[in-house]
Structure 1
């Protein structure tokens, strides 16, 4: 029962973050009302889980409840770095990381069953299943034939970071020049607000979490806007895998500030309709991020978990 409650809490945390993402995309500001029915329709859920997610946000003082019902934003979404999900059971998080470490190091094969992982880590069946489900959600594992699960070793191998940049260098500039590329002005305007907040920060006060959120949102915006559903799906999947990484241990804040400026420059060209120029800037941005990678890499986890920019 307790495990199920935690699982429900985790779903509410995810939905709460989605609500904030929607508020950011729409350019909403502090004091604006969050309509339950509109959010339920956008998230493709009923009003009950939306209400639970809003209650969670109220407990975190991110929204405030109105006396007559409903909720108002209590923060500016553009400057909010995101919700830290503490609802995930510690055992599942440890298993999640242990499986990736052991596959990356070659201590276990990339093909596993729930039973084999239970034996290796002395864990409950439920904990292993939940850890594997999280890996699948992060596009790092998938179900195979029978009882097998396949861990995507290519995504956590020693050259995963280099291959990721290679893939992005081929696809992201191309996405900007697709014939069906459409500019989402509302999303661009909202994203620029977050980037301008980062731009105003000093190296010592730079908010890495806010940068990580805007970095993800920016690259996902390119993926969503390209107009080609196959490319959009492939890029979105890749960026979600990048986002599932653990935050870098040693981060060069100056490079992150540079990266934020590069994002702003690309947004400006997209707004102007100069998509070829935006694509050229994207190539430079990815190459710079790749060349700076050694200074961004941390220690103790697979290299894929250190991708920034």
Structure 2
């Protein structure tokens, strides 16, 4: 079992309702635009106090946003305000309710694209990169120690639409565990592919870690429930990005299904890749970038104005 110093790992005390809000848009949603025609003519930048609303410090999308403030001359004087995924979602919802301008660090799959009319700002300098994969990482030696758990984690693979279904149920008030069970009941054919070639066990302990993002709450609960149905005693532990990778690399836990690559967690992967095993993508077509409500008359990062 996972027995690390809780303070060092910065484990969250609990999950806020905002964090576990569910439903999300596909990787294509909000990504289309008609070119840079807005030009921030109403000076949204000043109204926003030249601030990008971010999530947790150290997250890849936050680092990319910070890089964007350096790479784009028109973002001179801008700052990325870090907080949490839940706080970002709350700020976004409040801004939309009042039809105020806001720029947030965003990613898909995420429920906010289903709930709100949003769009990605074009990124001519490609600071945020292209499409990403969500990958599964496990500790070295897991295949030999717990071959059935290893094989299930290796065979886990689903789509953004699958993930959206789970998040939507959570958003509508279903508990994370019940939402996972419901999805499994309705998609037994996919689950059978994940467990194909494995044997049931009796009480074998497995611990998974994940970052407190809506997407990873959904995927980790689904995988945990599948493992439980195969007889494993499963613990799932929410961590910050860095400690999540460290826990797997140091062999303290079995693994995670929450690695966003190549951009979001790229630096953490480079730091730990020699001490863990990469089982490949469990979801294709993820995306990160700067996101705004569609009512804002801006289409590109270059439409924003420098601080005066």
Question: Which bracket does the TM-score occupy, shorter chain normalised?
Answer: under 0.3
What TM-score do the two structures reach when normalised by structure 1? 0.23
Point out the structure with the larger helix share.
Answer: 1
Higher RCO by CA contacts (8 Å cutoff, separation 6 or greater): 2
User: More strand per residue: 1 or 2?
Assistant: 2
- TM norm structure 2: 0.23
